[in-house]
């Protein structure tokens, strides 16, 4: 049976967000009128008060009602008092005994209570209790290693505990769990059952701490990666500054990279463009090769790469267009329609070129425009009059200063499609 000692009308100090248990020393800041009056009453009559935790949070200056307090608390001795300028008190409390309230008494400015001392009951023999304590001490050591807020000296203090009850209260005071869980553990009468319940809660906390540690390692790893990238980026900025690489150059590089990702290049062209882009990132605008690579990339990305939409060729419409645009020229029109008919039948005709011969003004160029309109293609005219170098047509090597692609590639860029109708004029 539990030993009971009736204590009449001890002053009550309601406490928030904490729990004072026996065999512990706890600092307590008292600011509410009822709590200050209760402390002053205790200082006059033996320095003993009952500290009871509130069930719910209340306003800072409101005294809680009896219904807002738990029935179990702790008799405490006030060891030290420090009166602060703003009217509050800082108390150093020593927890003595676990009690249950039989009845509250309402005084003018404070509460008191009639309480029964409830010592923990030991229902198991020493062997079972010792086995439980040894297991508990092991996992408490693991808990301390995982929980950095508790010093390692706490484990030394646990091992110095003179009794299972003292051990239980020390761990209950230091473990970081919810206040409602602590209150429930305080209210359990059987010591073995109390320690077993605390053991179970501590085990759950260890699993949570391990998971938190795993998450923390993952987050730190990501942060380290981001910090490394930031450090390397800053280093690159410093190097670029020393080499004279400007923000404009970086912006050009990023613009080329963006366009390269968006352009539908062939695999071979993309591989070559990526090589050139990588080379550009290591050059500065003072390098002679910078302008060469820059021009090369500009042309690769400016010329059309998307496949044009193939439209059905209508020979009747083509004949109508030729007749609308030109009077006469019967044999010429028949030859053009014959060519268009072969194109429509074979789908792809390679190596077939129509050659128009005649003096200026007879309609050679306009016939080319009509064919383009009939085939629904863009028309591009290349004037080759006076051209003596074939490089003007096919393009120059990149090693030449001011080298550009040939007029055929330039016409494709101008037309905006990779399938225009090109007329090479004045070829003689």
Of 244 and 277, which is predicted with more confidence? 277
Q: What is the pLDDT of residue 1?
A: 41
Looking at 3.40.710.10, 3.40.50.300, 1.25.40.20, 3.90.1300.10, the CATH number of the domain 315-425 comes to: 3.40.50.300
Contacts 24+ apart (CB under 8 A), 79-86: 79/25, 81/39, 81/43
The whole-angstrom separation of Cα 373 and Cα 379 is: 8
- Cβ-count burial 257-280 (b if 16+ within 10 Å, e if not): eebbeebeeeeeebeebeebbeeb
pLDDT band at 79; cut points 50, 70, 90: very high
pLDDT, averaged across the chain = 80
Q: Does residue 260 have a pLDDT over 90?
A: no
pLDDT reading at 191 higher than 60: yes
pLDDT, position 27: 92
CB atoms within 10 A of CB 358: 11
> In the chain, pLDDT over 70 holds for what percent of residues?
89
β-pair partners for 149: none
For the chain, give every residue range classified as CATH 2.30.130.40.
6-117
Where are the CATH 3.40.50.300 domain residues in the chain? Answer: 315-425
Predicted model pTM = 0.50
Q: Which residues, in sequence order, are CB contacts of 393 under 8 Å at separation 6+?
A: 384, 387, 406, 407, 408
Whether the Cβ atoms of residue 295 and residue 280 lie closer than 8 Å to each other: no
What pLDDT does 376 receive? Answer: 77
Indicate where the chain has its CATH 1.20.58.1480 domain(s): 126-212
Give the pLDDT of residue 316.
Answer: 80
pLDDT confidence of residue 32: 87
pLDDT at 62 over 90: no
Joined tokens for residue 13: 């100090």
| pLDDT tens figures, 82-102 | 998 888 889 999 999 889 998
What pLDDT, on a 0 to 100 scale, did the predictor assign at position 249? Answer: 58
Task: Write down the pLDDT at residue 345.
Answer: 77
CATH for 6-117, among 2.10.260.10, 2.30.130.40, 3.40.630.30, 3.30.1540.20? Answer: 2.30.130.40
Q: Is the pLDDT of residue 118 over 70?
A: yes
**What pLDDT score does 92 carry?**
93
CATH code, 126-212 = 1.20.58.1480
Question: What local confidence, expressed as pLDDT, does residue 2 receive?
Answer: 45
Average pLDDT over every residue of 169-175: 86
């Amino acid at each position: 049976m539990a030993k009971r000692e009736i204590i009449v009308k001890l002053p009550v100090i309601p406490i928030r967000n904490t729990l004072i248990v026996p065999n512990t020393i706890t600092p307590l800041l008292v600011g509410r009128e009822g709590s200050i009056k209760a402390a002053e009453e205790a200082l006059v009559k033996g320095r003993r008060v009952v500290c009871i935790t509130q069930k719910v949070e209340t306003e800072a200056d409101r005294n809680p009602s009896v219904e807002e307090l738990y029935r179990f608390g702790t008799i405490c001795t006030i060891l030290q008092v420090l009166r602060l300028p703003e009217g509050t008190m800082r108390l150093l409390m020593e927890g003595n005994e676990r009690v249950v309230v039989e009845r509250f008494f309402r005084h003018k400015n404070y509460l008191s209570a009639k309480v029964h001392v409830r010592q923990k009951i030991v229902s198991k023999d020493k062997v079972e209790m010792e086995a439980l304590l040894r297991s508990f001490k092991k996992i408490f050591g693991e808990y301390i290693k995982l929980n950095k807020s508790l010093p390692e000296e706490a484990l030394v203090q646990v091992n110095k505990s003179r009794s299972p009850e003292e051990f239980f209260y020390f761990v209950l005071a230091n473990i970081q769990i919810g206040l409602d869980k602590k209150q429930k553990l305080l209210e359990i009468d059987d010591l073995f059952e109390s320690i077993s319940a605390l053991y179970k809660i501590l085990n759950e906390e260890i699993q949570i701490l391990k998971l938190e540690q795993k998450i923390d390692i993952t987050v730190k790893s990501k942060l380290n990666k981001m910090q490394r990238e930031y450090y390397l980026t800053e280093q690159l900025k410093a190097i670029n500054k020393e080499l004279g690489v400007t923000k404009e150059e970086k912006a050009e590089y990023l613009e080329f990279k963006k366009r390269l990702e968006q352009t539908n290049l062939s695999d071979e062209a993309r591989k070559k463009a990526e090589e050139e882009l990588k080379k550009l990132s290591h050059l500065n605008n003072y390098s002679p090769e910078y302008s060469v690579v820059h021009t090369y990339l500009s042309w690769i990305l400016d010329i059309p790469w998307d496949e044009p939409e193939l439209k059905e060729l209508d020979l009747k419409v083509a004949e109508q267009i030729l007749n609308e645009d030109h009077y006469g020229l019967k044999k010429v029109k028949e030859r053009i329609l014959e060519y268009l008919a072969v194109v429509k039948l074979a789908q792809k005709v390679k190596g077939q070129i129509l050659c128009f011969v005649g003096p200026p003004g007879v309609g050679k160029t306009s016939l080319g425009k009509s064919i383009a309109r009939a085939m629904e293609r863009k028309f591009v005219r290349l004037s080759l009059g006076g051209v003596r170098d074939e490089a003007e047509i096919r393009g120059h090597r990149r090693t030449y200063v001011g080298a550009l692609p040939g007029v055929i590639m330039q016409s494709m860029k101008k037309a905006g499609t990779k399938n225009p109708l090109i007329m090479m004029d004045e070829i003689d």
